Structure 1
Amino acid sequence: MQRHGVTIPLNSVPLSAHRRIIEELPDLGYTDAWSGEAAGYDGFTPLALAAAWAPSLRVGTAVVPVQTRGPALLAMTVATLAEAAPGRVAVGVGSSGPPFVTRINGIPFEHPCRHVRDTVRFLKAALAGRSVRGVFDSFTIEDYRPALHPDPVPPVLVGALRPQMLRLAAREADGLVANFLAVEDLRPVKEAMGPEGEGKEIVARLFVCPTGDLALARARGRALLGPILNARTYSAFHSWLGRGDELAASRRAWAAGDLRGAGDALPDELVDALLVHGKPEECRERVAAYVAAGVTTPLLAVIPAPEFGAGPGGTLAALRALAPTD
């Protein structure tokens, strides 16, 4: 079964206006709705609503930070959602970064890879109904005895960018959550996962602007990508992918405090590689290319386009136009 997902909450649509859209997604051929968590919506409330509004959708997190909830609270939250939507829940966890862990939550950002690994181990044991106790590298659990035993056990995925975390996703988890990558990046990503990654799920969030206006698409792409590609984690990821020279001018502008200039300095070719844009049929072809390269669950994050109008109606019209045709 080829999965085809949507990132929620939807861009420019208040959560109170999501129901009509979510209810229609299965009829359009979408199988999944996944959320994330940074400094806006929490990662689980939109999924609980989506699971109730569309009982056939699988819901998942792509991703929630491992530092901002204790391991037991995270396991309890996932297990609760899994009891409400049995067999339809996946949890993706990641290391996030200092802006969201320390600056807004006051939590030290320490040993991110170890913390992700320990959380994955904890979750896989707790969600399977096993008691957890002992000293991990990044936390100590005296005795957690899960009261909820979801059946089936939700898969645990890891949000990963570079080799150490990619190997962790392959070795310890049930799959990978990827973000802000081009089709050609799937090859080095899969190589870094190694043979243990064979057959595991690869979830990729794909930003899609379904417009035939090339200048508009690139402008919106630069506004989105300028801050992202200059963030510590994604800057290092794209350097590892060999894009240091392509990003040099943008990094200089960013370091000088010229935020708009950082976006303007991104090469057209890079914007085109990282943002899916064009007429809807062209966007579907681009998404299919990601699937052919190894993505098992593409998640569309729709950027509003003037062809479809604004607000909930425009977003629903865009999702209808982008819906899988097979």
Structure 2
Amino acid sequence: MTPEPREAIVGRWGITLPLTGVPVLEHRELVAELADLGCTDVWSAETSGTDAFTPLALAAQWSGSLRLGTAIAPVYTRGPATMAMTAATLAEVSGGRFVLGIGSSSPAIVRRWNGVEFTEPFKRTRDTLRFLKAALAGEKVDHEYETFSVRGFRLERVPQRPVPIMLAALRPGMLRLAAREADGAITNWLGADDVPRVRAELGRAELAARIFVCPTEDADAARALGRMLISTYLTVPAYAAFHDWLGRGEALRPMHEAWAAGDRRGAGALVPDEVVDELVVHGSLPACRERVARYVANGVDTPIVALLPTGADPLELARGLAPGA
């Protein structure tokens, strides 16, 4: 699939919804304002809160211009045909503004929470991508993929316009797959100075990055939250390997050793300040907007702000982080 030229996608600015602590239906006013505040995108996440699709279906009705994307929908937790139907429905209700972001997710989400074997994640993601491209184009799919088979499936409601598909990608193999066969890559938990290395593997395809932002000038509080999140996420094998590749292996080694020994609280305390400051944007609202803009300057096409709680009104913080604030 030919990627969209980078010149056409530079200038995007997204936000992750729903916001922590805000009921889903109480986002209507914010979503209606986002375009006027300079935002172009709303992206969802799917871990143990809302699913990836319902908030976007609502946002599609509350705004007529925002692009809507999943970041990401796990390829193991829905059957291939169900994933295709859900994507086609979101494309329909949004008037063609939907981007399907898929990825392997993690062993905890897939195996421990959903009872599905987490095997061959690269191949499963590749096979799901290939199936979805065919199914969403209206083809009848009858194929034995390496990780699953589909027999005689054809969508009854084929999207009127192609649905872009982006892959969650951290390291060269998945980034190169995204460049070859998808419409771009979605990455996560990286610093602004890491972007050129990721971009070098992806080439000119769209690069979206979820950026964790904690808008507070209480650096100690921001770092405490950052350490907790980093020790939770970066001990997942895929993220550990990602940061080894990025060059943080030695800096994070004490954290990994403590975590492996069962000392979860101690593991967080061993994350260096400089690592937190690289991976979590914090400071005043203007300083945070400037830090997010650095990701763009270094090669991210679509920054996706993930607002971390500070105790202040998250709706007002989201407005304050928008580029037109």
Q: TM-score, normalised by structure 2?
A: 0.94
Match of 1:31 in 2: 40
Match of 2:5 in 1: none
Q: CA deviation at 1:325?
A: 3.3
Match of 1:6 in 2: 15
Q: CA deviation at 1:76?
A: 0.5
Match of 2:300 in 1: 295
Q: CA deviation at 1:139?
A: 1.1
Q: CA deviation at 1:223?
A: 1.8
Output the amino acid matched with 1:322: L
- Once residues 284 and 104 of structure 1 are traced to their aligned partners in structure 2, the CA distance between those partners, rounded to angstroms, is 36
- Once residues 71 and 113 of structure 2 are traced to their aligned partners in structure 1, the CA distance between those partners, rounded to angstroms, is 20
Q: CA deviation at 1:206?
A: 0.6
Q: CA deviation at 1:97?
A: 1.9
Residues 258 and 264 of structure 2 are in contact (CA less than 8 Å); yes or no, is this contact kept in structure 1?
yes
- Which residues of structure 2 form unaligned runs of 5+? 1-9
Match of 2:6 in 1: none
Q: Does 1:144 align with 2:143?
A: no
- Once residues 167 and 174 of structure 1 are traced to their aligned partners in structure 2, the CA distance between those partners, rounded to angstroms, is 11
- Once residues 176 and 90 of structure 1 are traced to their aligned partners in structure 2, the CA distance between those partners, rounded to angstroms, is 11
- Once residues 201 and 304 of structure 2 are traced to their aligned partners in structure 1, the CA distance between those partners, rounded to angstroms, is 22
- Once residues 54 and 60 of structure 1 are traced to their aligned partners in structure 2, the CA distance between those partners, rounded to angstroms, is 14
- Percent sequence identity over aligned pairs: 53
Q: Give 3-state SS (helix, strand or coil) of 1:102's partner.
A: helix
Output the amino acid matched with 1:91: L
Match of 1:320 in 2: 319
- Once residues 146 and 54 of structure 1 are traced to their aligned partners in structure 2, the CA distance between those partners, rounded to angstroms, is 27
Residues 93 and 159 of structure 1 are in contact (CA less than 8 Å); yes or no, is this contact kept in structure 2?
yes
Q: CA deviation at 1:267?
A: 0.7
Q: CA deviation at 1:21?
A: 2.0
Match of 1:253 in 2: 258
Match of 2:183 in 1: 174
Among 206, 229, 233, the residue aligned to 2:234: 229
Residues 136 and 158 of structure 2 are in contact (CA less than 8 Å); yes or no, is this contact kept in structure 1?
yes
Residues 207 and 275 of structure 1 are in contact (CA less than 8 Å); yes or no, is this contact kept in structure 2?
yes
Q: Does 1:75 align with 2:84?
A: yes
Q: CA deviation at 1:191?
A: 2.1
Q: CA deviation at 1:164?
A: 1.3
Q: Does 1:153 align with 2:162?
A: yes
Residues 36 and 324 of structure 2 are in contact (CA less than 8 Å); yes or no, is this contact kept in structure 1?
no
Residues 208 and 276 of structure 1 are in contact (CA less than 8 Å); yes or no, is this contact kept in structure 2?
yes
What is the CA deviation profile of residues 63-121 of structure 1, one whole-angstrom value per residue up to 9, with x for unaligned ones? 11111111111010000111111221000100112111111111111111111111111
- Once residues 27 and 14 of structure 2 are traced to their aligned partners in structure 1, the CA distance between those partners, rounded to angstroms, is 15
Q: Does 1:111 align with 2:116?
A: no
Q: CA deviation at 1:127?
A: 1.1
Match of 1:218 in 2: 223
Q: Give 3-state SS (helix, strand or coil) of 1:130's partner.
A: coil
Among 278, 285, 294, the residue aligned to 1:280: 285
Q: CA RMSD in A?
A: 1.4
Q: CA deviation at 1:315?
A: 1.2
1:51-90 equivalent positions in 2, closer than 5 A: 51-90=60-99
Runs of 4 or more consecutive aligned structure 1 residues displaced over 3 Å after TM superposition: none
- Which residues of structure 1 form unaligned runs of 5+? none
Output the amino acid matched with 1:277: H
What is the CA deviation profile of residues 154-207 of structure 1, one whole-angstrom value per residue up to 9, with x for unaligned ones? 1000001112111111111100000001112112212223xxx32x11111111
Q: Give 3-state SS (helix, strand or coil) of 1:18's partner.
A: helix
Residues 33 and 57 of structure 1 are in contact (CA less than 8 Å); yes or no, is this contact kept in structure 2?
yes
Q: CA deviation at 1:40?
A: 2.3
Q: CA deviation at 1:305?
A: 2.5
Residues 199 and 207 of structure 2 are in contact (CA less than 8 Å); yes or no, is this contact kept in structure 1?
no
Q: TM-score, normalised by structure 1?
A: 0.94
Output the amino acid matched with 1:253: A
Match of 1:205 in 2: 210
Residues 86 and 150 of structure 1 are in contact (CA less than 8 Å); yes or no, is this contact kept in structure 2?
no
Q: CA deviation at 1:38?
A: 2.0
- Once residues 309 and 252 of structure 2 are traced to their aligned partners in structure 1, the CA distance between those partners, rounded to angstroms, is 26
- Once residues 116 and 136 of structure 1 are traced to their aligned partners in structure 2, the CA distance between those partners, rounded to angstroms, is 11
Q: Give 3-state SS (helix, strand or coil) of 1:27's partner.
A: coil
- Once residues 160 and 215 of structure 2 are traced to their aligned partners in structure 1, the CA distance between those partners, rounded to angstroms, is 39
Residues 4 and 31 of structure 1 are in contact (CA less than 8 Å); yes or no, is this contact kept in structure 2?
yes
Output the amino acid matched with 1:31: T
- Once residues 161 and 145 of structure 1 are traced to their aligned partners in structure 2, the CA distance between those partners, rounded to angstroms, is 32
Q: Tell me: higher relative CO, structure 1 or 2? Use CA pairs within 8 A at least 6 residues apart.
A: 2
Q: CA deviation at 1:16?
A: 2.9
- Once residues 207 and 36 of structure 2 are traced to their aligned partners in structure 1, the CA distance between those partners, rounded to angstroms, is 24
Count of residues in Structure 1 that have an aligned counterpart in Structure 2: 316
Residues 106 and 236 of structure 2 are in contact (CA less than 8 Å); yes or no, is this contact kept in structure 1?
no
